[in-house]
Structure 1
Amino acid sequence: MTTDKLPAGDNLSVFAGVRDWIFDLDDTLYPPETGVFTAVMSRIRAYTARVTGVTAEDALALQRNYAARYGTTLRGLMEEHGVDPEDFLVEVHAVDRSVLTPNPALAAALSRLPGRKFILTSGTHAHAGETLSRLGLDDRFDGMFDIVDADYLPKPAEATYAAFLARFSVEPTAAAMFEDTPRNLVVPRALGMRTVLVVGQTAARHDVPPADFITADLPAFLTHVADTLSG
């Protein structure tokens, strides 16, 4: 499936029976083209360089290595350098969010979805709260589960999904997951969730999407889902 077309309405009928809608935050509820999460990643790189004493170039390699091995750079820094996670999280999320503006189309689409809506993020409650406020979405969600709630064990760890599901009494087969990172959809899909990969407008084509659907326009996708379910 390419990113320039929405799936047919008949296909969207698979969302019938979904009671819980789960969304990643960064680069999912706002486009990656805004650069907000890129700024977070830059601050992670700078933090990594400072606490490990390596160059910026080596910090980038280390950042990628830890993310691949531990799920996040933070987990790698905690395991191998004893970094204080609270100090890390405060520093790396101190970014300028002024580029983010209210998204009334997304707010309206979320309101039309039947059931509960949740945020499942590897960021923090504070970062998510400020970001949602900028997007005009702070009153659209019923709950939030962040990296601290996950005991600093990030997606795609199975234990993190299990903890989230238990916290909010979510039945996976009656849930849908929206993510910008393909590997974070593997466990939800295996659990029986409907899965949607959200990509940027400039994303490369996915010949074999690691999800049930792929979209570069989340508000339009959700609107089509809501139209299908209400029809």
Structure 2
Amino acid sequence: MRADFAHIDNWIFDLDNTLYPAKADLFGLIDIKMGEFIQTLLGCDPVEARRVQKGYFLEHGTTLAGLMRDHGTDPHSFLDYVHDISLDRIVEDHELIDHIAALPGRRLIFTNGDAAYAGRVLAKLGLADAFELIHDIHACAYVPKPDPSGYAALCERHDVDPARSVFFEDMARNLKPAKVIGMATVWVNNGSEAGDVGAHADFIDYETEHLTPFLGDVLQGNTGD
């Protein structure tokens, strides 16, 4: 069933590869930092570090979740290290800035990253003041999307009614728990690594390759079936 955007009060956005194109590949820089972290932690070579990293990402939703479970990794140390990257690959999209500012109701970020990193990215995108709050991996007790607990915490702590909310996300599998609790869902299918894993029409209301024109259509009421 399609969403009726006229009844949406809460506009919830993932951060990476959703508010900027996946081709910017900030994750490529983060991947390098994660590999370095794992090499130091495990005393292994780069090939083994990448195998461990990608295995944790696919199995647990984030590399951090696997490292915490298997190695007791301190999340603050890990996140501070891997997010210490240049943001020169992303730029402001003035049309997107205008569209987000025009959305009626509340605007929120729900990310598997942390708020400090998210704040840096939003500032670089010209969206530093565009969102009411950032619901990050710390707020989710380090249990990442798509675990349902993070979605429940977002709604309970911030008085979010799922039935009046829409969630925008580049990882299709992360939309399923949002749909289950009653949110409308938009898959920003723009080429993210493993972005299509688990994708199914049962929990994806809309699909778009680029957020900016989609929001433009939303604001103009042109997102019919």
Shared topology, TM-score over 0.5?
Answer: yes
1:228 is the counterpart of 2:221:
yes
Which amino acid in the other structure matches residue 82 of structure 1?
G
Looking at structure 1, the residues matched to 136 and 193 of structure 2 have their Cα atoms a distance apart, in angstroms, of 26
Structure 1 range deviating more: 17-26 or 210-219: 210-219
Looking at structure 2, the residues matched to 203 and 80 of structure 1 have their Cα atoms a distance apart, in angstroms, of 24
Looking at structure 2, the residues matched to 57 and 12 of structure 1 have their Cα atoms a distance apart, in angstroms, of 44
2:166 to 165, 169, 176: 176
Choose between structure 1 and 2 for higher RCO, CA contacts under 8 A separated by at least 6 residues: 1
Looking at structure 2, the residues matched to 174 and 89 of structure 1 have their Cα atoms a distance apart, in angstroms, of 32
Match of 2:183 in 1: 193
Which amino acid in the other structure matches residue 120 of structure 2?
E
Match of 1:127 in 2: 117
Name the SS of the counterpart of 2:7 in structure 1. Answer: coil
Structure 1 range deviating more: 88-97 or 208-217: 208-217
Structure 1 range deviating more: 32-41 or 154-163: 32-41
Name the SS of the counterpart of 1:42 in structure 2. Answer: helix
Name the SS of the counterpart of 1:16 in structure 2. Answer: helix
| Equivalent residue runs for 1:32-181 within 5 Å | 32-181=22-171
Which 4+ runs in 1 deviate beyond 6 A? Answer: 201-207
Q: Deviations over 1:32-78 (max 9, x none)?
A: 11121221122112212221122211111211221233221111111
Looking at structure 1, the residues matched to 62 and 184 of structure 2 have their Cα atoms a distance apart, in angstroms, of 25
Name the SS of the counterpart of 1:197 in structure 2. Answer: strand
Percent identity over the alignment?
36
Name the SS of the counterpart of 1:123 in structure 2. Answer: coil
Looking at structure 1, the residues matched to 33 and 195 of structure 2 have their Cα atoms a distance apart, in angstroms, of 29
Which amino acid in the other structure matches residue 64 of structure 1?
K
1:27 is the counterpart of 2:27:
no
Q: Deviations over 1:103-138 (max 9, x none)?
A: 111111111211100000111111111100110011
- Check 1:61–1:193 CA distance in 2 against 1; reply closer, same or farther (3 A cut): same
Looking at structure 2, the residues matched to 107 and 213 of structure 1 have their Cα atoms a distance apart, in angstroms, of 21
Structure 1 range deviating more: 58-67 or 173-182: 58-67
Matched pairs, number? 219
Q: Give the alignment's TM-score, normalised by structure 1.
A: 0.88
Looking at structure 2, the residues matched to 208 and 150 of structure 1 have their Cα atoms a distance apart, in angstroms, of 25
Indicate if the aligned counterparts of 2:171 and 2:192 stay in contact, CA closer than 8 A.
Answer: no
Looking at structure 1, the residues matched to 192 and 46 of structure 2 have their Cα atoms a distance apart, in angstroms, of 27
Structural RMSD (CA): 2.2
Q: Give the alignment's TM-score, normalised by structure 2.
A: 0.90
Q: Give the gaps of 5 or more residues in structure 1.
A: 1-10
Looking at structure 2, the residues matched to 131 and 13 of structure 1 have their Cα atoms a distance apart, in angstroms, of 29
Looking at structure 2, the residues matched to 203 and 62 of structure 1 have their Cα atoms a distance apart, in angstroms, of 16
Structure 1 range deviating more: 17-26 or 201-210: 201-210
Indicate if the aligned counterparts of 2:99 and 2:215 stay in contact, CA closer than 8 A.
Answer: yes
